[in-house]
Amino acid sequence: MTKDYSHMISSKFKLQSLAFTVFISVCCLNAPTEVSAEEKNNLLDRMAIYDALTQYSYRWDSKDSVGFAELFTEDGILERRVNGERILSATVKGKDAILAYAKNSHQGRLADRLSRHHFSGIVFIELNDATAITENMALITHQTENDSTAFIVSSGYYLNTWRKTEKGWRISKRVLKTDRFEN
């Protein structure tokens, strides 16, 4: 039997994230004149990317497949690496394929469980007017109705390449590098 856990992640959190972004944006736009237009734009870009990354985990964990796919560019790529090696079967190319992957995961292997992506703060490796590269650590947990507590299923870090589009900042490539020791 498939359980729907999406109600457990309230849209209130999504609105709070948006409200925070708007609040900070207004503060930046009304900052003292010592802040240049370039610095303001840089801060606004960082906040927009940070907000999109926050939405990544909320949309995936609430099983919002369509919303999750919307975070990617049309030619977006999902990739996973273990011990530095790309897992070919875990590479997904194109927004439509990402949507299909999300739906398949949410209705299949994740249907009976809560998943949580706990992200560290975001590190900006590169940022310009059109593209960005960020990194953040992740701890991923699952919990079924039979589990008294959540259990760790994976850890590692995400290396994300971003592109500014007409719809805002979108992920053009997301690489999950999982923590594993070679035995």
Q: Any alpha helices (H) in the chain, and if so which ranges? A: 11-29, 37-61, 65-69, 95-107
Domain definitions of the chain by residue range: 7-178
Which pLDDT does position 9 carry in this prediction?
45
**pLDDT of 115:** 87
- Concatenating the DSSP letter of every residue in 73-113 gives EEEEEEEEEETTEE-GGG-EESHHHHHHHHHHHHHTTTTTE
Q: Rounded to two decimals, what is the model's pTM?
A: 0.79
Amino acid letter for position 98: I
- Of residues 7 and 162, the one with the higher pLDDT is 162
pLDDT at 114: 87
Distance CA 174, CA 172 (A): 7
Domain covering 7-178, topology: Nuclear Transport Factor 2; Chain: A, (3.10.450)
pLDDT tens, residue by residue, 33-81: 688 889 999 999 999 999 999 999 999 999 999 999 999 999 999 999 9
Residue 8 has pLDDT above 70, yes or no: no
- Cβ atoms 53, 136 nearer than 8 A: yes
23 pLDDT band (50/70/90 cuts)? low
**pLDDT score for 51:** 94
